[in-house]
A and B are shown apart, each in its own frame.
Chain A
Amino acid sequence: MKKTNLELKEINKNEYIAQQESNLNQALEMGLSKDEFELICNKIQKIPNQTELGIFSAMFSEHCSYKSSKKWLKTLPTKAEHVIQGPGENAGVIDIGNDQAAVFKIESHNHPSFIEPYEGSATGVGGILRDVFTMGARPIALLNALRFGSINHPLTKHLVSGVVKGIGGYGNCIGIPTVGGETNFNKSYDGNILVNAMAVGLAKKDRIFYSAATGAGNPVIYVGAKTGRDGIHGATMASAEFTKSSSEKRPTVQVGDPFTGKLLLEACLELMQTDVVLSIQDMGAAGLTSSSVEMASKGGLGMHLNLDLVPTREEEMTSYEIMLSESQERMLMILKPGSEEAAKLIFNKWDLDFANIGKVTNTGRLILDKNGFEACNIPINPLVEDAPEYNRPYEIFQDKKIVKSDYFKSNQTLNDILIKMFKNPNIASKKWIWEQYDSSVMGDTILCNGKSDAAIVKIHGTETKNTLGKGIAMTTDCTPRYVKSDPITGGMQAVCEAARNIVASGARPLAITNNLNFGNPEKISVMGEIVGSIKGISQAALTLNTPIVSGNVSLYNETNGQGILPTPVIGMVGIIDEVENSLGISAENNNTLIILGQNEDFIEGWLGCSLYQEIVTDDFDGAPPPINLNAEKKIIDMMLTLNDNNLLTGAHDISDGGLLTAICEMLFENNLGLNVNLPKALLSSKTKDHLTHSWCFGENQGRIIISTNKTDEVVSLLKKYLIDYFILGSTNTTSNLNLSNVDTISISELNSINEATIPSIMD
């Protein structure tokens, strides 16, 4: 469109540039490829102007388009009777009975958190909360999955401190309890930390809000905070590898304001009590671009917006900047025509901006006006439908080498190893971290951080005469060592461990949200990790009937060509009918500890790829412990039966660090002791015997330790259902762990080490 000189003067210089034709070099700078640029020109039948190109580059970014992973994500199992909404919306929705639904999702904020740990992690929490309340759900819990570099790396302390403060800073202020998660350290994350945040909310089953735009002519409403110049092109930044100059990308990190987030949460939920909201979408990655495009695209409609009406924080923002800003705490809504004034009153009450910025159209085009000119006029379909989908070459590498226990010629005692375990920040108590999170606000937290394998939060208002109510169980899990050595087994293991954690807390597993964190998918081996772990996750999720209902993919987690350990985090949600039946990990005195999934004949534990191997040799290799999905299912069902019969006092899944580490964790809180039975074949063994070490620290899967004061009843049920089990012994008040003739270990001393490890690094 040609403009007169006079008209050009009216537009400021930057806006003029934003409306100029773009070229290939600019497209490459924005992260598009030559083919993609040509595809765009072809599809829209013109050379895009700068604003239009910016919109395409954001929508075609890996972050928004899932172009490398889409082909494989489609293969995930997403359906089950209890699924109300699977992937594709702001969050997944499942039926939890009583006409209620749980709404949940996990999302990464890896790149921004590395550049600016406080703001990056805080806005990660803010963003995932908006995804949940956009659907009409009140958030009731937050979790996270964090991966940092080696504890000795010079940046790690700064990053841990900033990320933990940021997560707390947002969650504590907005008043949603942070109840669970995991934090691990490995040198592969030195240059790329992972910050995955998960939120769970509650909604009425028939009051879920979706994002598809409806009704040509309906008003498009912008609410929340004003648009600033922060986070411009954040989605594109999150889709590229880091180099040494990445700290220059600090301006692409968004800045969060949990106070405005809280006001927006309350205002949206208050408006949703009425019947005027037709559709709603959070402005997350790629801000106004992705929200308007996705709403219009899902509704098969178009949108005509006047960018002069968008509330801005700064003067003279261009159409390009407004469309690509990732300022936080903003929402886009389609309202019933005529309801604008009533809706505005609610947002005024909460001191939030409310602007009618345009209309839904039936043209199928995105038309944007700025300063009286058309700043953008492009068809919507190519932005979504024609977004590239790559079938990237891959090779799934599976390490088949079996590391036998005699590989470890250890001269260390069991106590030596246990001390190293609890001095290792991966095993040591994370109390220093979780005390910085408000875990009890909202008054419904039953079990959280470290007290149980999965967090349990009571469902408000489900109390009856007989029970305090139903509860939602939640956990996040992944063992990247296993995924690295064998992506398929590693993917299965993450799902199985999550399910074991849910049943060990007394609840029934229901569904999954996943966060797939990997390196550069253009590398054949990394793509193999993606494909392999999706295959593994799918198989396990099918067997356990825990479909994937939402998720997020974060690729290009590489710095100077060095990739992270593949980290497909599983966030799992379950349900418990009576929260009184929740199980913690701590045993009480005079409890019998019984291990499920292993019997008297089990002697040699699996040390390949174990934390033991990492601790003893400073590295890991070999095949990870295999997964038997049917056996996992059997143990999970058995746990539910045992708990339904009120036979358990506690339970703990065996994972990193193996059996002996898990036993210690069960004894710590009440400072108990245990005389551990050893299988007959090990009775004459010594404390430095590799076989004994493998029995104590092997990471064979499908095992849970239960504590009970009804041993006979438990054993008769285990026999009835043909479950392998082994009685470990009875707890006592000595605070000593005795392994017949092998070793005596002081639980209280170990616990002091356990508690001191992280504070001694961080304080």
Chain B
Amino acid sequence: MRAAVAIFPGSNCDRDMIVALKKITGKSPLKLWHKDTEAPNLDLIVIPGGFSFGDYLRCGALAARSPIIKNIKNHISRGGALLGVCNGFQILIEANILPGSLVRNKKLLFTCRETTLEVQNSLQSPFLSSFNTGDYLNIPVAHNEGNYIANTELLKELENDGRIAFKYKQNSEIETDYNPNGSLHDIAGILSKNGRVLGMMPHPERSINSLHGGTDGLKFLTKSIEEIVG
């Protein structure tokens, strides 16, 4: 497994992601700095959460113009797997690697809490092929701009092509705030056309410990890595 974590000024979940990947693979992933213009061939690049460039201008907008993005685009054109978590998801959208927009949470408040994700009937993707439609994962979110929006055509396309990876799940009929940010269609994560790029707002790297946050994130990352390595 050749994995790397891409780090920008203001990334703050890089260490957490490195800890999680090391726990699974037994070795530390490579660290890529935002100014790196060269990178070795890799199986997986993860863009972790945080506030790259202080979220100035728009979340992810400045990071999406960093030198490393060219590298990352080369990586996916080679068929490499790419995971963007939280700010990483925002960067993927700003870099036009994934479609749509992430805007401020509906209540205009930062939200840090547990969410339940329902795995969707998705296209073949290494991130999801170990799961069945309807499986659910408890993984926390922590963000201010996680409200996924898109126009009707795009939403239809995402639904029809099986590119919605996760939706926030309503645990009971009376639960009204199961969706922490008001995203359309309760979207929590989406895939690229070929399924090898996943952007998601919830933080799987914060769910690797039975004492806090549970271990569903560990399960998700472990299965993903197994599939990516093949």
Q: A443 interface residue, CB < 8 Å from B?
A: yes
Q: Are A443 and B205 in contact (CB under 8 A)?
A: yes
Partner of A440, one of B56, B109, B110, B203: B203
Chain A neighbourhood of B203, CB < 8 A: 440
Q: A682 interface residue, CB < 8 Å from B?
A: no
Q: Are B16 and A442 in contact (CB under 8 A)?
A: yes
Q: A435 interface residue, CB < 8 Å from B?
A: yes
Q: A240 interface residue, CB < 8 Å from B?
A: no
Partner of A443, one of B10, B51, B206: B206
Minimal Cβ-Cβ distance residue in A for B9: A263
Chain A neighbourhood of B98, CB < 8 A: none
Minimal Cβ-Cβ distance residue in B for A461: B19
In which size bucket is the chain B interface?
Answer: 20 to 34
Chain A neighbourhood of B211, CB < 8 A: 446, 468, 579-580, 582
Complex CA gap A439/B208 in Å reads: 15
Q: Which among A168-176, A388-396, A542-550, A726-734 touches the partner chain? A: A168-176
Q: Are A440 and B212 also in contact (CB < 8 A) when A173-B10, A174-B12 are?
A: yes
Chain A neighbourhood of B20, CB < 8 A: 443
Minimal Cβ-Cβ distance residue in B for A437: B112
Complex CA gap A165/B211 in Å reads: 28
A458 to chain B, nearest CB (A): 8
Q: A746 interface residue, CB < 8 Å from B?
A: no
Q: Are A175 and B112 in contact (CB under 8 A)?
A: no
Q: Are A440 and B54 in contact (CB under 8 A)?
A: no
User: Which residues of chain A from 436 to 451 have any CB-CB distance to chain B below 8 Å in the complex?
Assistant: 436-443, 445-447
Q: Are A441 and B212 in contact (CB under 8 A)?
A: no
Q: B209 interface residue, CB < 8 Å from A?
A: yes
The interface size of chain A toward B, counting residues with CB under 8 Å, comes to 33
Chain A neighbourhood of B213, CB < 8 A: 440
Q: Are B205 and A351 in contact (CB under 8 A)?
A: no
Minimal Cβ-Cβ distance residue in B for A431: B113
User: Which residues of chain A from 122 to 157 have any CB-CB distance to chain B below 8 Å in the complex?
Assistant: none
A444 to chain B, nearest CB (A): 8
Q: Are A259 and B110 in contact (CB under 8 A)?
A: no
Q: A112 interface residue, CB < 8 Å from B?
A: no
B206 to chain A, nearest CB (A): 5
Q: Are B9 and A351 in contact (CB under 8 A)?
A: yes
Partner of A442, one of B15, B113, B140: B15
Chain A neighbourhood of B144, CB < 8 A: 172
Q: Are A440 and B111 also in contact (CB < 8 A) when A174-B12, A175-B12 are?
A: no
Q: B142 interface residue, CB < 8 Å from A?
A: yes
Q: B13 interface residue, CB < 8 Å from A?
A: yes
Complex CA gap A166/B35 in Å reads: 31
Chain A neighbourhood of B9, CB < 8 A: 259, 262-263, 350-351
Partner of B110, one of A172, A263, A447, A582: A172
A683 to chain B, nearest CB (A): 38
Q: Are A446 and B212 in contact (CB under 8 A)?
A: yes
Minimal Cβ-Cβ distance residue in A for B108: A165
Q: A258 interface residue, CB < 8 Å from B?
A: yes
The chain B residues found within 8 Å of chain A, CB to CB, are: 9-10, 12-13, 15-16, 19-20, 49-51, 53-56, 107, 109-113, 140, 142, 144, 203, 205-206, 208-209, 211-213
11 residue pairs A–B, Cβ–Cβ below 8 Å: A165-B110, A175-B50, A259-B56, A262-B54, A350-B9, A435-B113, A438-B112, A439-B142, A441-B12, A441-B16, A443-B206
